[in-house]
Amino acid sequence: MQTKNEPVQAREPFMKMQWKIGNVQIDNPFVLAPMAGVTDLPFRTLCKEQGAGLICMEMISAKAISFHNKNTIALMEIDPCEHPVSMQLFGSEPDLMAEVAKSIEDRDFDILDINMGCPVPKVVNNGEGSALLKNPNLIEEIVRKVSSAISKPLTVKVRIGFENEPVDIVEIAKRIEDAGAAALAVHGRTRQQYYSGTADWDTIRRVKEAITIPVIGNGDVDSPLKAEALVKQVHSTFDYSIGETTVSGYTATVTANITTFDSDAILENYQKELDKFLETIKKENRVPRLFLHSCCAPCSSYVLEYLSKYFNITVFYYNPNIYPEEEYRKRVHEITRLVNSMEFEHPVKLIEGHYDPQEFFQMAKGLEDVPEGGERCFKCYRLRMEEAAKLAEEGGYDYFTTTLSISPLKNAAKINEIGEELAEIYHVQHLPSDFKKKNGYKRSIELSHEYDLYRQNYCGCVYSRREAENRK
């Protein structure tokens, strides 16, 4: 990881501070999360080369191991360069998992992890993964029996909730610690969220405050921008005590992991930047031209109310991802009605982009089964924003941006990262944004009611519609 062509390690000595899970020493605080279908052997070795402190393998079925499934056994291959490395099991039968854990302990992994966070239906429907959160007694029994069966450190990965079930994740964390776990990884999302929305790092903080074993925070570190923000915040809050370990002139032993990270803090600068800029143009009595990509009428409502005080705005409705065409036409009608109904301080006009769903399907090829909020969505952001940037340059606009960041289900950091890249390519300034700030999302709901806007129950594409239907 580099920032401004300077290795972060050179500026942040804590990155080399050592910590432990049980008797396993880890050389820095950065952990590669286990990701099914992603963290295979080649990927893990690349991440190790790039400095990951702890490597986690993709999850493996305990039941499949007991059946001696050849494909499953192949997933257990480890390269010597990976150490320290964590092997992750999933299952729901305490005795079977303990038996399997004992049978594989002589394999070349350092830490055994149990997955209690996977949200996918085929796992949850078997009572495994995040479904275990509904049964704290079973969680405790699994952890106790597996930890008693092996001598290597045992860790657990959880989510913070399961849809509408009454899950007390802090109490579950205490029971996991009491049952013998050496560390706990917490993904700051519920099962219902899958990988969408924003991870709740405040809940991760509360978990850490309640237990003494290391807590590994997980969620939303999906770009260099966010990683850098995390590094900076951790640097100011990292808790350590003087000990015997010396690293780069710093003598310290890490006694706590990340405890106070708030994912919203990463995005705070966007709003600060925007507020400062808006204040400047108001003082200068300037009204720049803004080319505003609109994803839908409800999201656009607050953004238009907010920005029309400062800009001459062209609203650009371009969303080839919307499925089916009937849905697309409904959304076009709503954004048209909204622009014609609202009163603005400065002129606002609407233009509709071309609607060709094949553009979206071509872009999404090979990513059809990626959960909402992942790489397919990132490419979709870029598809729509690039068209806006291109037309903004052609039209001689001063700025371009998108309403996408107002949604809690959209990755604002990624949106801004893409915007800045496109600004360099098309030579038109990107207006940084996180429009959900300052109660923007709440205000968009109020305006939606005020103008009786149609509020869709899925993002727009056929894949998000399918996911929404599967969650019912």
What is the per-residue DSSP string for 83-149?
-SEEEEEE-S-HHHHHHHHHHHTTSS-SEEEEEE----HHHHTTT-GGGGGG-HHHHHHHHHHHHHH
For residue 434, the SS3 value is coil
For residue 153, pLDDT over 70 is answered with yes
Top-confidence range, 203-212, 295-304, 369-378, 455-464: 295-304
Handedness of CA 105, 185, 38, 368 (dihedral sign): positive
Chain centroid to CA 199: 6
Are 403 and 431 in contact by the 8 Å Cβ rule? The answer is no
Taking residues 198-202, what's their average pLDDT? 80
Tokens standing for residue 325: 């065409």
CATH number of 266-470: 3.40.50.620
Question: For the chain, how big is the Rg over CA atoms in Å?
Answer: 24
pLDDT (0 to 100) of residue 205:
82
The DSSP H or E segment spanning 382 is helix 375-394
pLDDT (0 to 100) of residue 243:
30
Top-confidence range, 7-11, 204-208, 230-234: 204-208
Percent of the chain with pLDDT over 70: 86
Nearest to 388 by CA among 292, 274, 289: 292
Tokens standing for residue 296: 């839908």
For residue 265, pLDDT over 70 is answered with no
Q: What is the pLDDT of residues 211-227, one digit of tens each?
A: 888 888 888 877 656 65
**288 cis-preceded (ω within 30 degrees of 0):** no
- Beta-carbon contacts of 301 under 8 Å, excluding residues fewer than 6 positions away, are 338, 342, 443, 444, 447, 448, 451, 453
Taking residues 266-274, what's their average pLDDT? 65
Taking residues 49-75, what's their average pLDDT? 87
Q: CA 206, CA 217: separation in Å to the nearest integer?
A: 11
Handedness of CA 200, 205, 208, 210 (dihedral sign): negative
pLDDT band, very low/low/confident/very high, at 407 (cuts 50, 70, 90)? confident
Q: What is the pLDDT of residues 334-391, one digit of tens each?
A: 999 999 999 999 999 999 999 999 999 999 999 998 887 888 999 999 999 999 999 9
Q: CA 372, CA 463: separation in Å to the nearest integer?
A: 8
CATH classification of 2-261 is 3.90.1330.10, yes or no?
A: no
pLDDT (0 to 100) of residue 204:
85
For residue 177, pLDDT over 80 is answered with yes
Handedness of CA 49, 52, 53, 58 (dihedral sign): negative
Q: What are phi and psi of 245, to 5 degrees?
A: -90, 130
Nearest to 410 by CA among 291, 267, 304: 267
**324 cis-preceded (ω within 30 degrees of 0):** yes
Work out the number of other CB atoms within 10 angstroms of the CB of residue 71.
7
pLDDT (0 to 100) of residue 240:
32
Nearest to 195 by CA among 128, 119, 124: 119
pLDDT band, very low/low/confident/very high, at 19 (cuts 50, 70, 90)? confident
Domain map of the chain by residue range?
A: 2-261, 266-470
Handedness of CA 25, 31, 34, 37 (dihedral sign): negative
Q: Which residues of 93-125 are buried (b: 16+ CB within 10 A; e: fewer)?
A: bbebbbbbbeebeeeebbbbbbbbbbbeeebbe
pLDDT (0 to 100) of residue 194:
82
317: which DSSP letter? E
Q: CA 392, CA 6: separation in Å to the nearest integer?
A: 33
Please state, rounded to an integer, the average pLDDT across all residues of the chain. Answer: 84
Are 308 and 344 in contact by the 8 Å Cβ rule? The answer is yes
